[in-house]
Structure 1
Amino acid sequence: MTNIKKGIMWRVVFGMSAVVLFAIVVSFKMFTIQIVEGEKWLAMSDSTTIRRQNITPARGNIYSDDGSLLSTSMPIYEIRWDATVVNKDTFRVYVSDLAIELSRLFPEHTASYYSSLLKTARRDKNRYKLIRRKVDYHQQKAMAEMSIFKKGRYKGGFLPQLNTKRVKPAGELAHRTIGWYHNEQNQGVGLERSYDQDLGGVKGERLVQRISGGNRPLNDENLIEPQNGRDVHTTINIDFQEIAQRSLEKALIKHNAHHGSVVVMEVATGKIKAIANLKRTESGVYRELYNYAIGESYEPGSVWKVYSAMAAFEDGLINPEDSMDIMNGERDYFGKPMRDSDRGRFKKMSFKQAFARSSNVAFSSIIFDNYAQNPSKYISHLRKLDLDKTTGIEILGDAEPFLNHPESSTWSQLTLPWLAIGYENQHTALQLLTAYNGIINNGDMIKPRLVNEVTDAGLVVKDNNERVESKKVCSKETSAKIKELTAEVFLSGSASGVRSNVVSMGGKTGTAQIATKGQYQKSRIYNASFVGHFPADEPVYSVFVMVNQPSNGQFYASSVAAPVFAEVAEKIFTISVKQKVDDTSTRFPNYTSGYYSDFKVLNSALNVELTQEVNNEVIAMNAKTGKAKGLNIEDNKMPNVRGLGAKDAIYLLERYGLQAKMTGNGRVVEQSPAAGSRVTKNQHVYIRLN
């Protein structure tokens, strides 16, 4: 029995000793790790959980020519919360208030939902709890003033993480030209990609610690401060852009076209003021999906005759009034007929008429008959216009042109006469407009551009206005002759149907059949183009219009593209071009009736003196003679509003309790009931303006 007790005792002593020894070893190891090797293990822990994180700088803005925003970055926040730093009593007292405030700002969730969210994060000691994604600047500011959160990061646990979202305040206007850029994939288009080095700025760095739920910034200080991006100031005029885009869209819808583009260029500077590109989607809606004006080459057709005419004038082959034999509109070239659209009607006509009526025979004849033995001489004129080169525009995607030439394997005996009228070559709308712009700009061709300058904090760091590239492409005399020809297109030629009473215009239509797999199919699909300028004699702006595959029964450029040009030209001219004023004679406004107080203001500005004073509120007046008479208005009688503008007429009628229905614009030319007729209060009356 004693031996058994001793055995048990030794086992107990041995076991206890082993436990004590193990505890001593563990304690020693803990002491070694925490005290002796503490820095080593902390450093190793930091190396696995703490890292450098890039800070994306604020991306620069893109502006229109008047400083309107075309593309900017909107702050978008992700709100996180460190539930461990909030005082226990503070959390207990104010958690309900915070939940209510969150539910008011974001009503899709109830206060009880937010209360549960906050309490769970507190219980789990969550240091990086997601509260809300996609919070805008104003919402973030409101959250920063809420209960608990307003104590800040270290006492309230409020952790707003700033991100940015790229937005275009002008919507779809110039959408593709402005473009987009994704830095992670190194993908993008338009100015956003081409100017990313300027817009993107320089990234900064900060230390973050990897914890459950994400990366938590260690402190408020950055290792390297980010440098914000620079701003890009474009040549785009937002009003011109809207005019171009809306006019193009209207035409595409009307003609059920596949796609189209409009480019507006300032003649003297080469600045692109508008560039619209629209394509029909599967749903039938037109959107900016591709920059056709820059990226699509096509056979231009008869707009090319401008460049053929330039070559002929430069070499002294003909003058605008010289007569030509056009062979009744049909000529054979090596067994292949060349025909005019109105063949059989004319045997002879002047070169100016041939241009205006777009005679294929006339232009193929003058080029073939004079350059057949030396076609390179004709090609040299086209190369002088850089029609064998890209434009060098600032954005990517400028398509390579194809200008056939004698050394090419595709050159044949048929090439020269067909090249003369815009076939067997391919060019973009911008390439063709740049060449045209150079001819009408007194022969000075200027490289097109989309950007005026780049600024950094308001200081100009790149000034494209100081680096304008230009070269001489033809003489002033040739330029004057081309302007004479293009003006005739609107006077008696293919664009006479859209001749304007607002502004004189010049230009050239072009209807080109589209080849498919190298063949011109029997289905006959077309590109309708127009290149032109305004005003006709002293060009300020040039415009190129292209409509691809119009399919509602009309395909000639005179009916499809020319109306777009005319509408764009009239609207831009009305709002922008300074018109010459004849100061040699006194001119008076053509006003007849209105409020006496308004006339006093106008008369003072125009130095018009009335020959008599009138006591009536509404008067009729002749500005040239200065005579005026009062218009008497009786109660319950229809007033005479003929001659009044819409605003005055409506005001006067409503003042007497009448409900006006109006049609037209301008001044009142008809009214019903007639002036002096008996009327009752709230009676509907009708006026027509013109």
Structure 2
Amino acid sequence: MSKFDNSKIMPRYSVIAIIMSIIAVAVIGKTIYTMTAGRAYWLEVAASQKKDSVTVKPTRGNILSCNGQLMASSLPEFKVYMDFNALKEAGNDTAFIDSINYISKGLNNIFPEKSAAYFKQHLMEGYHKGSKHWAIWNDRIDYNTFKEIQSLPIFHLSKYKSGFHWDEFNARRRPFGSLAQRTIGDMFGAKDTARCGLELSYDSILRGTNGIIHRRKVRNKFLDITDTPPIDGADIVTTIDVSMQDLAERALLDELKDPNVNGNVGVAIVMEVATGDVKAIVNLDKCSDGEYREVKNHAVSDLLEPGSVFKTASIMTALDDGVVDTMYTVQTSSGVWNMYGRDMKDHNWTRGGYGTLTLPWTLKYSSNIGVSRIIDIHYHNNPEKFVQGIYDLGLAADLRIPIVGYSPAKIRMPRKNSRGQYVNWSATALPWMSIGYETQIPPISTLAFYNAIANGGKMMRPRFVKQIIKNGKVIYNNPPQVIKERIAKESTIKEITRILTEVVSEGLGKKAGSDKFLVAGKTGTAQMSKGALGYKSGGTNYLLSFAGFFPADKPRYSCIVCIQKTGLPASGGGMSGVVFHHIAEGIMAQSLKLNVTDARDSSSNTIPSAKTGNLLATDYVLNALGFNITNGWNGAYPFGNPVWGRTLEKGKSITFQKEQVPKANIVPDVHGMGARDAVYLMEKHGIKVILIGRGRVIQQSVAPGEKIKKGMKCELRFG
């Protein structure tokens, strides 16, 4: 017989099976409901519990000067918010209400432009709305301000307890303000994207690589789990020298603001001759409020007719081709010469012109007629040869400047049709091209040409970035690059250097020169075309230039200064040349190093002179300086009772001559003493002293040897 009573057990199993079936049906029904009708709700819940593929921005790399000074750096900025729902869930809403006056007063201290009452009303508005992302302050704030806000009541708690949270941004800051602003570059602040300059050109290197994280909510807290870590951007080391940049900017700004100049645009570039490193680059525009700011990088983007600074290239082409030499003479008449139906004029045509000039003097006087006639005489029937000579000098070379907006020079090459007729050329094109018209050359290209002359004929590519650094290690070196090993014959380079030096010492470029070192260069004063309106529509605009290098005998730096202005007076040498002068002298003064031996000559005395007075103190000082006294004490008794006397110099030796101090009732002789010893000795004898001047005693109002009277005063005059 079975131990189990089926009549009792089976009903129980049946009940259990029915219950389990009902539960299974309920689970399946709930699953179907969740997947259909409740799908939207649960997706929203899931989204609040986790976030996938959240982008993490890296730290942008720094831009450094040539000696490692920060010129652009990323600093954190914040926007701060309140989540009042989190505040209430944490049970701190009562504490918030109790502290609202303290919080409002604290925010008023941090942001005084808004009152405490405003902050109280603003925060309470967000509180009553139950906002999860209520902006405490609408603008971005720096790190220090952020920490001040975070230290306020309630806000100092964790964001899960206080609801205080923030968004962090990488803000770009330039420690030197607007210095080289258009070259270093700008950022679109709201988008954190590069706008111009090196910031834009090297954006991919500076920006780094974004990272990816996902967030999961565990016990009411978000945990960040890194999938791909962000890679911070690398630093770039520029060639800019901050001190030279500041010097060039101040020199140019002072000239632009001069009432006689009142410039519209100013450009100054300083380049290191041997390397092509751009040490300073200034671009200043006159804005509507009358102030000068960096708005556009004119130095690399302005395609303008260069004017007379181009004449150097014209004369070099003729010299290099051997069609002329430095003894060649040209007739300029009375300062007006008809060139194929069009009058060419020299700047002094109203004063009778220059007459006959030798080739060097055509540059020294910047004679339009002289230069254009030399070129026209020898190249009129073959203008292609002249333009090819200009190309060979490197003026039309694409310098590949790493700044967005750079435009290479445009120099027209003559072309003929199938019938041998020029299709883009006229009889007057060559004469006017030779003096700087009919071409479009940015200042950086003109400077690269003059830098090549200074560099013995070797043309260097202007360099803006030297290195790329990551975590203190150099990951890329950008060495100096040679564009052309030689732009002209060695003899041509030497001849043109001598002529350019004489332009400054004897010609129109005197104001660019210095009495401390040789300067070589060329002035330029050109009328600026107004496009279809020509040159003479309305007020005449001028481009005033000076390009050159220094010291001319051992060139270290080249420089170009360009000023655009409206109306007269207008003088490349007298205006741009002045700026060049200040830049050159400032740079040379910064690098000046003197050796003490340079200050010695045959008449110099290297033994220090000592004042009459306490010989013990004198002995101590002279011994400390390394001088031995034949009858001294080797500096052993600086604080003993005074021994009075004077020093005697015999050749290279020093001896002491002791003197007796007069009796207590006799006025002492303090001539030659310093103030300390003279006052001590006089007051020891009971005489009150009045001091006038500084140095040694040269006069005492009471004669030495007189008897001392009660209350006697003595006036000591020093010199």
Q: TM-score range by the shorter chain?
A: 0.7 to 0.9
Aligned position for 2:457: 443
Q: Could you tell me which amino acid in structure 2 is paired with residue 44 of structure 1?
A: L
Q: Is 1:238 aligned to 2:242, yes or no?
A: yes
Alpha-carbon offset, residue 37 of structure 1: 7.5
- Flag the 1:385–1:185 CA change in 2: closer, same or farther, 3 A: farther
What's 1:284 paired with?
Answer: 290
Instruction: Indicate how the Cα distance of structure 1 residues 584 and 352 shifts in structure 2: closer, same or farther if over 3 A, else same.
Output: farther
Separation in 2, partners of 1:178, 1:160 = 30
Deviation readout 1:177-234 (Å, 9 max, x if unpaired): 1122449597721111111111111123345799xxxxx9943344433222221211
Are 1:636 and 2:702 counterparts?
no
Q: 1: distance between equivalents of 2:653 and 2:322?
A: 58
- Residue by residue, what CA displacement relative to the aligned partner does 1:70-93 show, whole Å, maximum 9, x if unpaired? 112221112234443677666545
Tell me, in whole angstroms, the C-alpha distance in 2 between the residues paired with 1:603 and 1:470: 60
Gaps of 5+ in 2: 1-22, 416-421, 612-617, 633-637, 656-670, 680-688, 697-714
Tell me which residue corresponds to 1:59.
Answer: 60
Q: CA RMSD in A?
A: 4.5
Instruction: Name the TM-score, length of structure 2 as normaliser.
Output: 0.74
**Separation in 2, partners of 1:611, 1:555:** 69
CA contact (8 A) 1:76 1:165 kept: yes
Q: Which amino acid aligns with 1:534?
A: F
Asked if structure 1 preserves the Cα contact closer than 8 Å seen for 2:459 and 2:485, the reply is yes
1:177 corresponds, among 178, 183, 202, to: 183
Looking at structure 2, the residues matched to 426 and 581 of structure 1 have their Cα atoms a distance apart, in angstroms, of 50
**Do residues 556 (structure 1) and 571 (structure 2) align?**
yes
Q: What is the number of residues matched between the two proteins? A: 613
> Percentage identity across aligned positions?
29
Shift of 1:328: 4.9
> For residue 304 of structure 1, what is the aligned residue in structure 2?
310
The residue correspondences of 1:583-662 to structure 2 (distance < 5 A) are 586=601, 630=672, 632-633=674-675, 635-640=689-694
SS in 1 for 2:531: coil
Residues 41 and 88 (structure 1), Cα distance of their counterparts in 2 relative to 1, 3 Å cut: closer
Give the secondary-structure state (helix, strand or coil) at the position aligned to 2:347: coil
* TM-score for both structures, normalised by structure 1: 0.77
In structure 2, C-alpha distance between the alignment counterparts of 1:367 and 1:582, rounded to whole Å: 52
For 2:106, the equivalent position in structure 1 comes to: 104
Q: Which moved more, 1:306-315 or 1:79-88?
A: 79-88
- Give the secondary-structure state (helix, strand or coil) at the position aligned to 2:43: helix
Which residue of structure 2 lines up, in the alignment, with residue 668 of structure 1? none
Query: Separation in 1 of the partners of 2:487 and 2:648?
Result: 56
Offset, 1:409: 3.9
Query: Which residue does the alignment assign to 2:80?
Result: 79
Q: CA deviation at 1:605?
A: 12
Superposed CA deviations along residues 105-128 of structure 1, whole A, max 9, x for unmatched, are: 542467777677777766766544
**3-state DSSP of counterpart to 1:220:** strand
What amino acid maps onto 1:57 in structure 2? Answer: P
- Measure how far apart 1:306 and its partner are: 1.4
Gaps of 5+ in 1: 1-23, 211-215, 643-675, 680-686
Specify whether residues 392 and 364 from structure 1 end up closer, same or farther in structure 2 by C-alpha distance, changes over 3 A only: same
Aligned-pair CA distance for 1:451: 0.9
Aligned to 1:538: 554
Counterparts in 2 of 1:111 and 1:324: CA distance versus 1, 3 Å: closer
Q: Which residue of 2 aligns with 1:569?
A: 584
Q: Do the aligned partners of 1:99 and 1:114 also contact (CA within 8 Å) in 2?
A: no
Give the alignment of 1:7-156 within 5 angstroms: 31-32=30-31, 44-45=43-44, 52-83=53-84, 84=86, 92=94, 96=98, 100=102, 103-104=105-106, 106-107=108-109, 108=112, 126-133=131-138, 134-156=140-162
CA-CA distance at 1:274 after TM superposition? 0.7
Q: Quote the Cα distance in structure 1 between the aligned partners of 2:554 and 2:624.
A: 31
Match of 2:488 in 1: 474
Residues 121 and 336 of structure 1: is their aligned pair in 2 closer, same or farther, counting only changes over 3 Å? closer
Instruction: Decide which of 471, 496, 501 is 1:487's aligned counterpart.
Output: 501
How far the C-alpha of 1:342 sits from its partner, in A, is: 3.3
Q: What does residue 563 of structure 2 align with?
A: 547
SS of the residue corresponding to residue 393 of structure 1 reads: coil
Seen in structure 2, the aligned counterparts of structure 1 residues 525 and 131 have a Cα distance that, compared at 3 Å, is: closer
Give the aligned residue type for 1:200. Answer: R
Q: Counterparts of 1:610 and 1:477 in 2: how far apart (Å)? A: 61
- Distance in 2, matches of 1:136 and 1:266, equals 38
Q: Deviations over 1:21-74 (max 9, x none)?
A: xxx9xx999945787889966663367765644333222111111111211222
Q: 2:395 aligns with which of 387, 395, 409?
A: 387
Q: For 1:79 and 1:257, how far apart are their aligned partners in 2?
A: 45
Deviations 1:574-614 (A, max 9, x none): 10266899879758999999998xx9999999989999999
Rounded Cα–Cα distance in structure 2 between residues aligned with 1:81 and 1:290: 41
Write the distance in 1 (CA, Å) between the matches of 2:203 and 2:464: 15
| Correspondence for 1:683 | none
The residue that corresponds to 1:266 in the other structure is: 272
> Are the counterparts in 1 of residues 394 and 484 from structure 2 also a CA contact under 8 Å?
no
Q: Does 1:353 align with 2:398?
A: no
- Counterpart selection for 2:201 from 194, 198, 222: 194
Alignment partners' CA distance in 2, 1:601 and 1:544: 56
Equivalence for 2:229: 225
SS of structure 2 residue aligned to 1:57: coil
Q: How does 1:288-437 map to 2 (within 5 A)?
A: 288-320=294-326, 323-343=329-349, 344=352, 346-407=354-415, 409-437=423-451
Deviations, residues 103-160 of structure 1 (Å, cap 9, x unaligned) = 3354246777767777776676654443345332123334445544444234444423
| SS of 2:223 mapped into structure 1 | coil
Structure with higher Rg: it is: 2
Instruction: State the shift of 1:317 in Å.
Output: 3.4
Letter in 2 for 1:538: K
Equivalent in the alignment of 2:10 = none
Aligned with 1:198: secondary structure? Answer: helix
**Which secondary structure does the structure 2 equivalent of 1:636 belong to?**
strand
Output the CA distance in 1 between the equivalents of 2:169 and 2:240: 28
Q: Secondary structure at the match of 1:465?
A: coil
| Residue 368 (structure 1) shift | 1.8
**Equivalent residue, structure 1, for 2:479:** 465
| Structure 1 position 163, deviation (Å) | 1.4
Which residue of structure 2 aligns with residue 657 of structure 1? none
| Partner Cα distance (2:444, 2:215) in 1 | 49
Secondary structure in 1 aligned to 2:228? coil
Closer, same or farther: CA 34–391 of 1 in aligned 2, 3 Å: same
Q: Could you tell me how far apart the structure 1 residues matched to 2:593 and 2:463 are?
A: 23
Q: Larger deviation: 401-410 or 189-198?
A: 401-410
Partners of 1:583 and 1:572 in 2: CA distance: 21
Partners of 2:541 and 2:606 in 1: CA distance = 52
**Cα distance change on mapping 1:148 and 1:68 into 2, 3 Å:** same
- State the distance in 2 between where 1:398 and 1:306 align: 24
Shift of 1:386: 3.0
